[in-house]
Amino acid sequence: MWTEDGPFHTYDGDVGTSAAFFDLDKTIIAKSSTLAFSKPFQAGGLISRKALLRSVYTQFVYVLGGADHDQMEKMRQMMSELVTGWDVSTVREIVADTLHNIVDPLVYDEAVQLIEQHHAEGRDVVIVSASGTEVVEPIGELLGADHVIATRMEVEEGRYTGTIAFYAYAEGKAEAMRELAADKGYDLARCYAYSDSMTDEPMLAAVGHPYAVNPDKELRRIAKERDWPILVFTKPVALRSSLPPAGPTLAAIAVGGVVALGGVLWAGARARRREGA
């Protein structure tokens, strides 16, 4: 595997106290990891057409130009409003059924190789994503991740309250990484991190070995300024063809958390494009 400037190397000696942190969408997964959930949630009566269409503009901004802090905060508010009152058991059932019967996300072969390489060298692998735990945890399980950091929603009496308990975004990701490192004994100076987005600059800056993967314009600029290596992933392959079959506990771990907004917004954008065609 190569960076834009030469061969890629990971081994740095004492790996027993280190980990590799991976963003999910557009870093491991070649598309939105939550795209496949929009139709099942709508079919299950959780998402209205009005909610889909209302999110179109926000998603276009995110897709076309990348989202800045203010736009991400608006998306956070929309996400909270969208899931308020949803029954957790219904979400759990839909996600589990989708994982088993529908979802076959495409992962970058280069990312799978990197995960295997870090494991072979003795590092833990941690998936860090702003998507909800109900999406990130089962995908992390399939990828063989040791830990997952993801957005979490508060639940009362079996329903989402609309309050986000933890938003895995920007500095929130970095803070969660530092907490996990303190708990597990990782030396962040020996750790690796991979992401495609400028919003993950804090995540990348938190470790001694940051890598920009298929970076957006702003992250590419910063990577060049700071001499961060740039990786280009170009070989998406079917997740199920690249990894061992999921174990019987997969449905059990697909629980709780915030419904990932990315899939909802993408579906709305596609609906609008079809209507305007």
Give residue-wise pLDDT tens across range 11-24. Answer: 565 556 899 999 99
Distances (CA, A) of 82 to 11, 25, 261, 269: 44, 21, 9, 16
Maximum C-alpha span of the chain: 57
| Most confident range, picked from 6-10, 60-64, 222-226, 255-259 | 222-226
Domains along the sequence of the chain with CATH: 2-276 (3.40.50.1000)
pLDDT single digits (tens) 66-90: 555 666 666 666 667 777 888 878 8
Average pLDDT over residues 26-47: 75
Q: What percent of the chain has pLDDT over 70?
A: 64
Higher-confidence residue of 12 and 30: namely: 30
Nearest to 264 by CA among 68, 67, 41, 6: 41
User: Which of the residues are catalytic?
Assistant: 23, 25
Q: What is the pairing mode between strands 6-7 and 2-3?
A: antiparallel
- Other CB atoms within a 10 A radius of the CB of residue 31 amount to 16
pLDDT single digits (tens) 146-157: 999 999 989 999
Tokens of 66: 């990348």
pTM: 0.77
What is the distance between the alpha carbons of residues 206 and 203, in angstroms, rounded to a whole number? 5
What is the distance between the alpha carbons of residues 99 and 105, in angstroms, rounded to a whole number? 10
